[in-house]
Amino acid sequence: MKRTASWSGRYCSFCLLPSASDGVIAGLLQSRPVLPATYLVGYESPSPPNSLTNALSRPLDLLKFVLIYLGNSWDAHLPNESGWPVVSESVSFIAVVVTLGFAAWCLRRRSSCSPLQIFLIGDLLLGLGTASMVALGRLRFGIPMALASRYQTPALIFWASLAALLAITVDWSVPQRLLASQIALLILLLAAAGRWASMAQTAETRQYQLEEAWNAVVHDRFSDPAAARLFYSLDMLKGFVHYLRQHHWGPSGEITSFTRVQRTSGSLQLKGYHLLPQACLGQVDGTRRSGLTSVFVKGWAFNQLNGQPARRVALASSAGEIIGYADLKINRPDVAARYPGTQGLHTGWETNITVPADGFYHAFLLFGNTQLACALQNEFRIHNRPQFSP
């Protein structure tokens, strides 16, 4: 014989469990909220002695940590510096209240909750318990610690469980409720658009760092700090790389991702401009993917030519074709410390540009309203740019 809870006959006809095993299954599912506590069995904290009591004395900061922990799943602009919560923090707070309220309701009226509902509530409480434990242990490092990418595994489980719980519990026969949920989902998707771009940039940065590490290793530059990104012990790393080479495993030489900065490899030209050697100082000091066929480029520059003010930076292909510009509008304390004459000047620049094809690209400092320019150090190479058929 099979049975269902009072709500499942209308809204979840597939949620049927054998009555003989319902008690066992429900008991197992109800144990999920206490799983985080099992982590404490035999645990010895490496934190300072008073870190737990200090964290407990800051309940509002603990709450903010948990809300950012959860809200980071779909809001790339966290953490919020102001005391007033942003939309993602407010939605996370509502989700926490709904979870705790529904759990308390099911605890008082156990017969009104199906095993599937109990399972999802258990997952939600497991997520909240995990976030709370992380907050207690990591609050001393600052609230931005909640943005660590590794925390997104339990956070995403929390949101998936909440969505599933709402989907099987709400009476969707009322048309207005379905419309309201669709509008809310659309708003969340639009709000999360920046989150996906942030994740792509993080992945590209990580790939670039690993590329730099491998290229240092294949050239036997084990003392290069970049090599330590592959393995913490550089002495052991030498043995690993030697073993790989003996067995012909791994790339045979350098690897190149979508974009990377390197030293200038050839003669430079900029169509329509006369290049003045040693008229400026500056360089391209960073690139990363910012879109499917675009890159984010940054650097610094200032002129050494008397009577010719720096106008902006032009980015050009190896053939001299200009593909984009960047304005000098960023303060660079590191440049000012190295070159005291630049105190008070905006020497930093950055921009997003769409690259037309694979190849080498350079940066030039343009002077005033003249056709004079000066080449900056370094170039960035674009490799494996996506190609699309018209």
Q: What is the pLDDT of residue 30?
A: 53
Both 47 and 150 in a single domain?
A: yes
Cα 46 to chain centroid distance, Å, stands at 27
The percent of residues above 70 in pLDDT, for the chain, comes to: 85
Domain-embedded: residue 390: no
Both 172 and 62 in a single domain?
A: yes
Domain assignment of residue 66, given as a range = 2-191
Whether the predicted pLDDT of 18 surpasses 50: no
Both 224 and 338 in a single domain?
A: no
pLDDT bracket for residue 32 (50, 70, 90): low
d(CA 154, CA 158): 6
Q: What is the pLDDT of residue 17?
A: 38
Q: What is the pLDDT of residue 31?
A: 57
Domain-embedded: residue 181: yes
Domain-embedded: residue 253: no
Q: Which one-letter amino acid corresponds to residue 103?
A: A
Q: What is the pLDDT of residue 346?
A: 93
The percent of residues above 90 in pLDDT, for the chain, comes to: 32
Number of structural domains (the chain) is 3
Domain-embedded: residue 11: yes
Domain-embedded: residue 371: yes
CATH of the domain at 373: 2.60.40
Q: What is the pLDDT of residue 44?
A: 72
Both 81 and 178 in a single domain?
A: yes
Both 116 and 13 in a single domain?
A: yes
Domain-embedded: residue 252: no
The pTM assigned to this predicted structure is: 0.52
Both 227 and 272 in a single domain?
A: no
Both 95 and 186 in a single domain?
A: yes
Both 151 and 227 in a single domain?
A: no
Among positive and negative, which fits the CA dihedral 58, 60, 63, 69?
A: negative
Q: What is the pLDDT of residues 108-151, one digit of tens each?
A: 887 888 888 888 998 999 999 999 989 988 888 888 888 888 89
Query: Residue 336, class by beta-carbon neighbours within 10 Å (0-12 exposed, 13-18 middle, 19+ buried)?
Result: middle
Both 140 and 205 in a single domain?
A: no
Whether the predicted pLDDT of 15 surpasses 60: no
Domain-embedded: residue 176: yes
Both 215 and 136 in a single domain?
A: no
d(CA 101, CA 390): 55
Both 299 and 235 in a single domain?
A: no
Domain-embedded: residue 389: no
Both 164 and 241 in a single domain?
A: no
Q: What is the pLDDT of residues 217-227, one digit of tens each?
A: 887 888 888 88
